[in-house]
Homo-oligomer: A and B are copies of this chain.
Amino acid sequence: MPGDALLLLTHGSVRVTRMSVSGRERVMGDIYAPGIVGETAVLEGGERSATVRALEDVTALMLYRDHFDQILRRHPRVLWNLARLLARRVTLLNDELIALGQNTETALAHVLSSLYTQRVGAGLAQPQILPLNTQDIMNRISASRETVARVMRRLEQQKLVRTVGGTIHLLDPQRLDRLALESGDLD
């Protein structure tokens, strides 16, 4: 995907990842249709820093910067909505920083809970079945395999989640969300 274009996702979902200098992959988040991918690089005019991988069959429109600029100039409402979307992302990223700064259980609860909210918002048929395996979670919260296994066990014992072959089923999304807001000791 060229650095001077963005994608308008009309169907399906993608996963956004970034590599650290040492080559460790970190999952930044998933984007569901209808959604927009790559708008920060286009707005900033900077280099593209993320990798985008389709999680299923997707349909998307590619929009080059020049055309995007024209649309925004002709339809200020689009620019408004874009600014609002970016403001929302800033808020969500701040929430994630807060959650990650607490213990791993809170961090994981936050990640699962916000993915669920996103899937409900996207109108998916089974929003409570998250396409995440252990490696995905490790890459999402930067934790070791052992830590992820330990924390997942704790969530399972509390009857909050159940892992079923590469997916995580949320059994009580509301209680999980409350856990994501709670604070605990650093671990």
Which A residues are closer than 8 A to B by beta carbons?
18, 20-24, 26, 28, 39-40, 43-44, 46, 49-50, 72-73, 76, 79-80, 82-84, 86-91, 93-94, 96-98, 100-102, 141-144, 181-184, 186
Contact = CB atoms under 8 A, between A and B. Distances in A.
A83 B43 contact: yes
A73 to B, nearest CB: 7
Nearest to A39: B87
B90 A79 contact: no
- What is the interface of chain A mostly: helix, strand, loop, or mixed? helix
A86 to B, nearest CB: 4
B89 A182 contact: no
Nearest to A180: B21
A101 B100 contact: yes
Contact of A182 (B21, B43, B100, B141): B21
11 contacts: A20-B183, A21-B183, A39-B87, A44-B84, A46-B91, A79-B80, A82-B83, A83-B83, A83-B86, A90-B90, A101-B141
B186 A143 contact: yes
Contact of A44 (B49, B87, B184): B87
Given A76-B79, A97-B96, A97-B97, A20 B102 contact: yes
B22 A182 contact: yes
Max chain B C-beta neighbours (<10 A), residue from A18, A46, A83: A83
